[in-house]
Amino acid sequence: MVSRAERGPLADWFWTIDRFFLAMFIFLMGIGFMLSFAASPAVAERIGLEPFHFVKRHAAFMIPSIAVMLGLSFLTPRQVRRTAILLLIISLAMMVLVLFIGQEVKGGRRWIWIAGLSIQPSEFMKPAFVVVCAWLFAEHARQPEIPGNLFAIILFGIVAALLVAQPDLGQTILTTAVWGGMFFMAGMPWIWIMLLGIGGAGGLLSAYYVFPHVAGRIDKFMTGEGDTFQIDTAREAIIRGSWFGQGPGEGIVKRIIPDAHTDFIFSVAAEEFGIVFCMALVGLFSVLVLRGLSHAYRERNDFNRFAVAGLVLQMGIQSIINIGVNLELLPAKGMTLPLISYGGSSMVAICVTAGFILALTRHRPEKRAQDRSLFRVPHGMPAE
């Protein structure tokens, strides 16, 4: 235990970190590692690998992910902003490279090989994009003559264009929803709300007619016709799990779900541990998001408020999309469940998000004292 009397980076970090957030992030990662034992062996055997191949890789990815999360949690808000700007520049450059030299998988170019590792740059773009947009919105709120909102709109246009070019409609929708939520919190005029709503609807309609795979997924979702094997098996796994599940290792349907360890790990959890377990998992994500929004509501600093709200919204909306697909409430879309699903880029990137949240929600008594002093009337001066 670190004493309150101690001084130093570690002691300051220990007594200022939001330990509830930290415990939640690590606990969810632990649940994900546990579920990898249930979900990944069947997938590994199906493609000719040894049963615990993905379990071992999941554990290997967790080590640098936790290190990244803890390392970023030591940063000050200014350092978070600078780190996000650098990360955004690098990830956007890599997203451009992906279009030319990226690895094509299932009709999309989203991955690039670097030093023997397959990296998805768009995953790292998301938390950096949220923080940079929060800074732009905050600068405009602080000094209206600074065109921060305009720069945020231009940045969003660049990011959306690169995502559509891959194409990755799911990430585009996620990014748009988070950016729109932050813009709304920053005081978006009603005319912008209407224009963005019309633009979003027009974008979805255009995607339906421009991208055949998007039209196919929406048609399957609306009519139930065509190749719906993944969704059907996921639903069967959930139904078979009933309230309390079949028990660890007793799942049968999970063996034929194509992406059981990534996009459909929620269905595997339902089959082996039951609907009650899944409801508890949804509750954990809900508490995580609500706590983040509550902190943002109390925060006086505009940058911190917008950034924390945007980061937790990103985690929450991504969770809604993943779980909604598993429950057949949304059209099929490959998107991981944050901190739970297998995936190197996804896990490290979501821990970047977690690290930013931890850094921005740290208790800073000296900052609160400074803020309070701004409202004091100096001695000897009349109050207005």
Q: DSSP string spanning 243-269?
A: TT-S-TT--SGGGG-TTTTTTTHHHHH
pLDDT at 13 over 90: no
84-106 exposure pattern, b = at least 16 Cβ within 10 A, e = fewer? beebbeebbebbeebeeebeeee
Mapped onto helix, strand or coil, the DSSP state of residue 242 is coil
> Residue 118 pLDDT > 50, yes or no?
yes
Q: What is the pLDDT of residues 333-356, one digit of tens each?
A: 778 899 999 888 889 999 999 999
Separation CA 285–CA 291 (nearest Å)? 10
The pTM of this model reads 0.89
Q: Which range, of 64-73, 131-140, 270-279, 363-372, averages the lowest pLDDT?
A: 363-372
- Prior bond of 64 cis (ω within 30°): no
List, in order, residues 6 or more apart from 113 with CB less than 8 Å away.
103, 119
Asked which of 172-181, 200-209, 260-269 is least confident by mean pLDDT, the reply is 200-209
pLDDT at 373: 42
pLDDT for res 7: 64
The arithmetic mean of pLDDT across residues 153-176, rounded, is 91
Domain ranges of the chain: 12-361
pLDDT of residue 6 exceeding 80: no
- Determine the average pLDDT of the residues in 147-171: 90
pLDDT of residue 369: 43
In tens, the pLDDT along 303-333 reads 999 999 999 999 999 999 999 989 888 887 7
Give the pLDDT score at 177: 92
pLDDT digits (tens, 9 = 90+) for 26-53: 999 999 999 998 888 888 888 888 988 8
Residues, the chain? 384
Under the banding of pLDDT at 50, 70 and 90, the label for residue 107 is: low
pLDDT at residue number 224: 67
- pLDDT of the residue at 38: 86
pLDDT of residue 377: 43
Residue of 259 and 321 predicted with greater confidence: 321
Mean pLDDT of the chain: 85
Average pLDDT over residues 51-59: 90
**Which range among 7-16, 118-127, 259-268, 278-287 shows the weakest confidence by mean pLDDT?**
7-16
Rounded Cα gap, residues 150 and 156, in angstroms: 10
